[in-house]
Amino acid sequence: MYSVLNPADEQLVATVEATTADEAAAAVRRSRVAFESWRDVSPGDRAMLLRRFAEAVDGDLENLAATEVRNSGHTIGNARGEAANVRDVLHYYAGAPERLLGRQIPVAGGIDITVREPLGVVGVIVPWNFPMPIAGWGFAPALAAGNTVVLKPAELTPLTAMRLGELALEAGLPPDVLQVLPGKGSVVGQLFVDDPVVAKVVFTGSTEVGKAVMAGCSAHVKPVTLELGGKSANIVFADADLERAAATAPYAVFDNAGQDCCARSRILVQRSVFDRFLELLEPAVQGVRVEDPSLETAEMGPLISAAHRESVSSYLSDEAPVAFRGSAPEGPGFWFPPTVLAPVRPVDRVAVEEIFGPVVVVIPFEDEAEAVRVANASVYGLSGSIWTESLGRALRVARGVESGNLSVNSHSSVRYWTPFGGFKQSGLGRELGPDALDAFTEVKNIFVSSEGAT
């Protein structure tokens, strides 16, 4: 048993039984047995069950959201959106089973068709920063394609995933089709990697652990989808709507207290408007409401844990060029105020490493070429934003930045019906959108001869 704390007040929220390696191995074998019948459920019935699962999530939305507020310190507004995202992703992929089309390819002497086969047992490993959406991005398309799923939530944030597992059963999914196994990464997660019965691993988390997962999967030539870290650039050109760029920049990095793989944690500003941009940014940062995340007005909550606050704090040494900070509550809870470091050089540690907290660096650049060079001077490439009134520049820079998800004059990057994933060390493969099913199926080619016996 281990304790789960509320990061906003450090009070005990629940105690959770950690799955042992033997229990996880047994769950994987049950999953494999369930797969034999789940794959044969007719496409229409599989679609109906996923729609019912989506409706069960919708019916439990307030409870799921309140649970996430207590377990993860997410603001109630965000937590509702995250539960709704699971519902929407389930509805979206509920449209997939009847549309999992193959092809018929012209050949001589018969007919040649391709079919999409499910892989078997899929292991989904989830980080603590977005426990609900990231679970859903894995299990919804995997189940729609006819796979069964074993899912390991992060140790710190297992509660909503456990509830989603109950809702799947209440909605009528057969037992063992979706199993949620809370526990340690080094035990349950590692078992997904090592156990040959697990046919595929979907891992979201740090680049460091992701590399080890990929290396482990290679021993079995086991396919793996990786969604890893980020250090995304928010590039502001002198011709941009500076007021809007500055007013929105804090929310592009401080949302979820900066614990967001897509956080635009490097703001690159053209030197001619650098001072003006900082003048506009300061009131915007100070206006971010950092407070009890269960309040409807909260815009940012605490960090996830004491250890993580230590890690974020380590970036604010005495030499750190703190330009200005927002506010955060005093007292219990893992609070950390929004913090702006400026000016920062692209080579500084704070500009290179993923801090994963409410700390943003502001870096000046001279021209378009330098902006692209600095944006790409990172091992990561997950998301980013480009602010300019020039369409040509927006397109040139968007094509030049090595990143999987970019937005122009906006900070949006994740929609369940568009592909999401990273370049470089931000990941491997794409989730969401119309092509996610490819990652959960194998293409089989079948030739049927028209020669021979009648």
Catalytic sites, residue numbers:
227, 261
Site string for ligand NAD, 134-153 (x = CB under 6 A): x-----------------x-
Q: Exactly one of 67, 78, 129, 179 binds ligand NAD (CB under 6 A); which one?
A: 129
The DSSP letter of residue 153 is -
Least separation in angstroms between residue 304's CB and ligand NAD is 8
Pairing of strands 2-5, 12-16: antiparallel
- Token digits for 239? 């011709």
User: Taking CB under 6 A as the rule, does residue 54 contact ligand NAD?
Assistant: no
Residues 344-373: x where in contact with ligand NAD by CB under 6 A, - otherwise, as a string: ----------x-x-----------------
Q: What are phi and psi for residue 118, nearest 5 degrees?
A: -65, 160
Question: Under rule CB under 6 A, which residues in 214-233 are in contact with ligand NAD?
Answer: 227-230
Q: Residues touching ligand NAD: how many (CB under 6 A)?
A: 32
- Determine the 3-state secondary structure of 92 from DSSP: helix
What is the per-residue binding string for ligand NAD in 198-217, x denoting contact by CB under 6 A? Answer: ------xxx--x--xx----
Least distance CB 201 / ligand NAD (angstroms): 8
Q: State yes or no: residue 291 binds ligand NAD (CB under 6 A).
A: no
Asked if 428 interacts with ligand NAD (CB under 6 A), we say no
Binding of ligand NAD by 185 (CB under 6 A): yes
Cα distance between residue 192 and residue 187, in whole Å: 9
What does DSSP assign to residue 431?
B
404: contact with ligand NAD by CB under 6 A: no
Q: Where are the alpha helices (DSSP H) in 60-206?
A: 61-72, 76-94, 131-144, 159-170, 190-194
Residue written as token pair 């039984």? 17
Among residues 381, 420, 439, the alpha carbon closest in space to that of 124 is found at: 439
Q: What is d(CA 30, CA 180) in angstroms, rounded to the nearest whole number?
A: 13
Query: Binding to ligand NAD by residue 155, rule CB under 6 A?
Result: yes
Binding residue for ligand NAD (CB under 6 A) from 69, 119, 140, 154? 154
Q: Do residues 148 and 32 lie in contact, with contact meaning Cβ atoms separated by under 8 Å?
A: yes
- C-beta closer to ligand NAD: residue 94 or 209: 209
Vertex 33 angle, CA 30 and 37, to 5°: 135
- The tokens for 97 are 């089973």
Instruction: State in angstroms the smallest separation of the CB of 157 from ligand NAD.
Output: 8
Do the beta carbons of residue 202 and residue 142 sit within 8 Å?
Answer: yes
Binding site for ligand NAD (CB under 6 A): 125-130, 134, 152, 154-155, 185-186, 189-190, 193, 204-206, 209, 212-213, 227-230, 261, 354, 356, 382, 422, 426-427
